[in-house]
Structure 1
């Protein structure tokens, strides 16, 4: 996703990245509503995060740009019935969460693996604190869906206050001159340390029959 945002979804690297995303989705029977929902999280979750912890509020043009950008990405993923209006898509996301967020053991397994992966980025002595900090940032519906215990109230206050202090500091820093969207290549990436091609990324499963319309849109 970062490759598409950095280079554009119509660039050679963007097209290759989009093809990799479509290839991975093609291994699974995913409903259109599930695809639409996940697409909506790429639009609104970053916006909500920036509203609460960003160093400045977003302009409405930036909000609309995020919506239209990911709407075009969704079209190239053959996702159907994506709303044409910013607020309509937001309402879809809210309704989907209200109707579908509930606990299941598979949620807990995936959530635990993801949390452990995040914590692994930190030195071992700090990993319990990192996990607690993450739980301090999750709202109750998300905690319930994953089966996670809420963090203590003092942790919630500490983490959120720390992020707001960070925003105040970032507001005073010089204007950034270079994009930081693409993280440095890590040892887990194919081709390390000489770089990679977007088509090399992603998890590879058994061969599957991929929707030809999805492939056509990713190329177009």
Structure 2
């Protein structure tokens, strides 16, 4: 073998080893929080963010969920705020851990909001199942590599722990159990509701404000979104079924992005948290976790609570200020 050919071969092997560096690091980690953090902030930050957004979107197709969200008015009248708050609250335990002040504050706020409404355990469990199943399906379909069994177990165990903190009962033990519950629940409960459709349309409108989608006509963004939806979801919302060409173009474009990352991008050296993403834009002056979300009438802000996580957007990455 010539020296030039050997150098080329070595360069390819070195690039491949660098590209898969995080996978090797994750394989040596047993902590579910650390695995979920590495997958969501370094290995697949864009893909898992899209998957979790899509997971929440799917839940609107269950009328008991979609109609409740419509009744709050938050998802149709303050869509950006609800998007931001959801990302920030779910991100707190991932970034800081369940036992940190910020992680506890995020979960407490989620539980306080849910306690204001009569939500069944099954609906709560279905939402949790989308957080488990949708990221795995998205990454395996569109990202630059598939998840390993160890990574899937880590994600599953993270959300099992989140569910326990939310007092959800009868949480499945394994990913396969979650997937069966998810499929069965959608088959039994997906149905058309005008109120659920209004929430879904407001969410698609918000998508059109994010880059690069805001550079495209709204109708094009909607058709692209439809191309990523399965027939069960399309039918539940009464959305038109996309053509095979549309589906192949949109899904093929996502797979092409994955290939480009595999062969041309370096692994992310620094984590990218939800609060740092351009889509989360409602708190340019920072935020306090215990003031995110919605509150019962007459109590818009939980006065008297200490600020466990005040985030200043001017503070450098990874630093926090606490009052």
Bucket of the pairwise TM-score, normalised by the shorter protein: 0.7 to 0.9
Say which SS state the counterpart of residue 44 (structure 1) adopts: helix
2:158 is aligned, of 69, 82, 100, to 69
Question: Using CA pairs below 8 Å that are at least 6 residues apart, which structure has the higher relative contact order?
Answer: 1
- Give the CA deviation at 1:205: 4.1
Whole-angstrom distance in 2 between the partners of 1:4 and 1:152 = 40
Whole-angstrom distance in 2 between the partners of 1:181 and 1:128 = 30
- Give the CA deviation at 1:153: 2.5
Whole-angstrom distance in 2 between the partners of 1:102 and 1:3 = 33
Unaligned runs of 5+ in 1: 209-220
Say which SS state the counterpart of residue 17 (structure 1) adopts: helix
TM-score of the pair, normalised by structure 1: 0.87
| Number of the residue aligned with 2:282 | 188
| Number of the residue aligned with 1:164 | 255
1:42 is aligned, of 117, 121, 131, to 131
Say which SS state the counterpart of residue 123 (structure 1) adopts: helix
Say which SS state the counterpart of residue 124 (structure 2) adopts: helix
* CA contact 1:8–1:14 (8 Å) conserved in 2: yes
Say which SS state the counterpart of residue 287 (structure 2) adopts: coil
Q: Which moved more, 1:25-34 or 1:103-112?
A: 103-112
* CA contact 1:39–1:74 (8 Å) conserved in 2: yes
| Number of the residue aligned with 1:213 | none
* CA contact 2:129–2:179 (8 Å) conserved in 1: yes
In the alignment of these two chains, the number of paired residues is: 205
Whole-angstrom distance in 2 between the partners of 1:125 and 1:182 = 24
Unaligned runs of 5+ in 2: 1-89, 300-323
Cα 1:17–1:53 change in 2 (3 A) is same
1:131 paired to 2:230? no
Write the mapping of 1:10-21 to structure 2, written as runs, cut at 5 A.
10-21=99-110
Select the structure of larger CA radius of gyration.
2
| Number of the residue aligned with 2:178 | 89
| Number of the residue aligned with 1:206 | 297
